[in-house]
Amino acid sequence: MIQYLEGIQDRLKEYLLPEEKVALKEAIKKLKEIDPLAIEAKKVSKLMKSWWDQARSDHRDEALKIVIQNPQIGKDSIKDLPDELVVYKHIAPDFEGHSWTLSKSIAEGFAEESGGEVISDEISKEDILYNTKNSEEEVFLKYDLPEQLTDIWKQATKGKHLT
């Protein structure tokens, strides 16, 4: 977009009025100031909402891929959490989920619905890849990612195992 506007600016410089030149130059300057990480964080938020509202696992995976490739988004999502915490997950024979919750009662509700049980883990907030901050208080842990994302994780962390 910036290159496109700069191209227009260059091609039309002799035809633009002085105030139009200034306006175009200011527009290009503002576009350059936009924080690309903030744009990616908004995209993650929208994808997670779509995943949650529509059960679209492809949107969840795309959002987590962006977080893996832009670690600051994940760090920003956990900054208000305590350093040490307990996470919960419901497990059932016919269910394979990758999200955990910060709420024991939410995990118990899912376990009751599915005939499953609740497991918990004491973790450091650094174990969390992304905190969705949704009504189910879902978090995704670095060591429990969907299989299709583990290779992306290893590439982004230069071959380190999920820890």
Asked whether residue 23 falls in the same domain as residue 67, the answer is no
Asked whether residue 152 falls in the same domain as residue 74, the answer is yes
Domains contained in the chain, number: 2
pLDDT confidence of residue 114: 85
Asked whether residue 22 falls in the same domain as residue 63, the answer is no
Asked whether residue 74 falls in the same domain as residue 151, the answer is yes
Q: What is the DSSP string of 104-147?
A: HHHHHHHHHHHT-EEEEEEEEGGGEEEE--STT-EEEETTS--H
Residue type, 134: N
Asked whether residue 115 falls in the same domain as residue 103, the answer is yes
Phi, psi for residue 139 in degrees, rounded to 5: -135, 150
Asked whether residue 29 falls in the same domain as residue 41, the answer is no
Instruction: Return contacts of 43-47, CB within 8 angstroms, 24+ apart.
Output: 44/73, 44/130
For 12-137, where are the E strands, in sequence order?
84-91, 99-101, 117-124, 128-131
What's the longest Cα–Cα distance across the chain?
Answer: 73
* Domain around 150: 36-156
CA-atom Rg of the chain in angstroms: 21
Asked whether residue 12 falls in the same domain as residue 50, the answer is no
> What is the mean pLDDT of each successive set of 10 residues along the chain, which is 163 residues long?
67 79 80 70 70 64 84 89 95 81 94 90 93 86 81 72 48
pLDDT confidence of residue 163: 46
Is 133 within a domain? yes
Asked whether residue 68 falls in the same domain as residue 80, the answer is yes
